[in-house]
Amino acid sequence: MRVLYVSPMEYGANPAVDAVGQGLQSRLAEHGIELRVICADFRSKDWPGTADAAMLAGVRTAVDAIVVWVVTPDSAATGAAAAMRNHIPVITLERPHYPVSASLVYPNFNHGVYMAEHLATLLPPGADVAVIGGPGSVDDDELVLGLQRGLRLTGLHLVNDPEDPRYKNVTDVAEGGRQKALNLLADFPRLGGLIPYNDETMLGALDALRETGRLGEVLMVSRNGTPAAVRAVRDGLSTGTWDVDVTGNGQLLGDLVIRAVVKHEVLDGQCVAGPIGHMITPERATRWEPWESRIPYHAFQSGLDQ
């Protein structure tokens, strides 16, 4: 059996994205299923057409299932429809607006609320806090909504609009986070807290804090539990990273594939929630288990044989 995974970023661009694919591959390998990967980078000018093209290639070569990370609710609709017409199960990370076999959904809103609550335990009431938003993906938008709700509940003062392009890291990588953090530091000189929506953005924000001499002055929390973010927490550079168990989410995607192609279940659009996770604090960072020791990491096989 062969399964196609359409990844939203090139390998190496974002370790959390890579880890989802590794988790998926590890679970499929347990059942002797081969994973093939095509990267359809959502930052490319040709996207989302590249995602559709990848899925159509999967249909032409008759893969047994297709897994796709739904970046926006309507992306990859053409490819998914073609696969479903050809009785190829389509499994998505996040739920799209079109019919698919099944979806894995992050509890994004909860993550945001709990991240804000953590920061509130470390700042005085009413402290100024800024949020760096993401590229407009399903999961990041829901996370930012949760962050805003959590800040209101805890009495912290959100100083910026996370949807303002001046403060949104649409690149999803560290350099974009650096640029948006520099904008925030310039616009709001009394910041007590900063919430970059993900760990890569946080790493860029660390560079901005170093450049401006404000490292240690502005407290940060971010999401994903990536190795570099855990090191930052351990080193006292960040107050925490919300660990969503990225590799475990990849394995949950694999479980849905196995139910569809091995057990021949009709999933009927079922949604499965990923684990809510927990905050990696400085104390917990000393006990954190690296992703590579949780599952075997192997190089992906790229593309499809025609």
* Alpha carbons 23 and 156: distance in angstroms, whole number: 36
> Within a 10 A sphere around the Cβ of 121, how many other Cβ atoms?
9
CATH architecture of 2-105+245-274: 3-Layer(aba) Sandwich (3.40)
Domain ranges of the chain: 2-105+245-274, 108-243
Helix (H, G, I), strand (E, B) or coil at 155: coil
Q: Is-contact 223 199, C-beta < 8 A? A: yes
Mean pLDDT by 10 residues, the chain (306 residues): 96 92 97 97 94 97 97 95 98 97 97 98 97 92 97 97 96 94 96 96 97 95 95 96 96 98 96 95 94 90 84
SS percent in the chain: helix, strand, coil, step 5:
40, 20, 40
pLDDT at 306: 61
Same CATH fold, 108-243 and 2-105+245-274? yes
Please give the backbone phi and psi of residue 274, each rounded to the nearest 5 degrees, phi first: -75, 170
Calculate the alpha carbon distances from 167 to 31, 49, 136, 209, 220 in Å. 44, 27, 12, 15, 15
pLDDT at 292: 86
Name the nearest CA neighbour of 10 among 47, 35, 40: 40
CATH of domain 108-243: 3.40.50.2300
Which residues, in sequence order, are CB contacts of 9 under 8 Å at separation 6+? 17, 39, 41, 42, 43, 172
pLDDT at 278: 96
What tokens appear for 215 in the block?
């490292």
